[in-house]
Structure 1
Amino acid sequence: MTTAPDHHDGRPFDAVLCDLDGVIRHYDTSRVTELERASGLPEGSTAERAFAPGNGLPLLLGELTKEQWVDALAHDLSARVPPARARALSTAFAEAESWIDECVVDQLRRARASLPVVIVTNAAPWLDDDLAALGLTDLADHVVSSARVGVAKPDRRIYEMAAARAGVSPDRCLFVDDARENVAAAVALGMTGVHYREPADLRRALAVLTPPR
Structure 2
Amino acid sequence: MARERATALLVDFDGVLRRWDPAVAAGVERRYGLSEGVLTEIAMQWGRLQPVLTGQVNHADWMTSVAEALAGPAGSPDRARAAVEEWQRYRGEVDAEVLAFIRAARAGGIRVGLATNATDLLDADLAALDLTGELDVVVSSYRLGVNKPAKEYFQAACEAVATPPARVLFVDDEDWSVRGARAAGLSAHRWTGPGDLRYLRAALAY
Could you tell me how far apart the structure 2 residues matched to 1:47 and 1:194 are?
25
Q: Does 1:14 align with 2:7?
A: yes
Q: Does 1:159 align with 2:115?
A: no
Could you tell me how far apart the structure 2 residues matched to 1:54 and 1:210 are?
41
Please give the root-mean-square deviation of Cα atoms over the aligned residues, in Å.
2.0
Shift of 1:205: 1.5
Aligned to 1:3: none
When normalised by structure 1's length, the TM-score is: 0.86
Shift of 1:71: 1.2
Q: Does 1:92 align with 2:86?
A: yes
Aligned to 1:48: 41
When normalised by structure 2's length, the TM-score is: 0.88
Q: Does 1:184 align with 2:176?
A: no
Aligned to 2:139: 144
Could you tell me how far apart the structure 2 residues matched to 1:51 and 1:192 are?
27
Contact conserved, 1:107 with 1:203, CA < 8 A, in 2? no
Gaps of 5+ in 2: none
Aligned residues: 201
Could you tell me how far apart the structure 1 residues matched to 2:145 and 2:198 are?
31
Q: Deviations over 1:58-80 (max 9, x none)?
A: 21112333332221101111243
Could you tell me how far apart the structure 2 residues matched to 1:49 and 1:128 are?
24
Aligned to 1:197: 192
Residue correspondence of structure 1 range 22-171 to structure 2 within 5 A: 22-37=15-30, 39-41=33-35, 43-83=36-76, 84-113=78-107, 114-171=109-166
Shift of 1:157: 0.9
Shift of 1:57: 1.4
Gaps of 5+ in 1: 1-9
Q: Does 1:174 align with 2:164?
A: no
Percent sequence identity over aligned pairs = 36
Shift of 1:112: 1.3
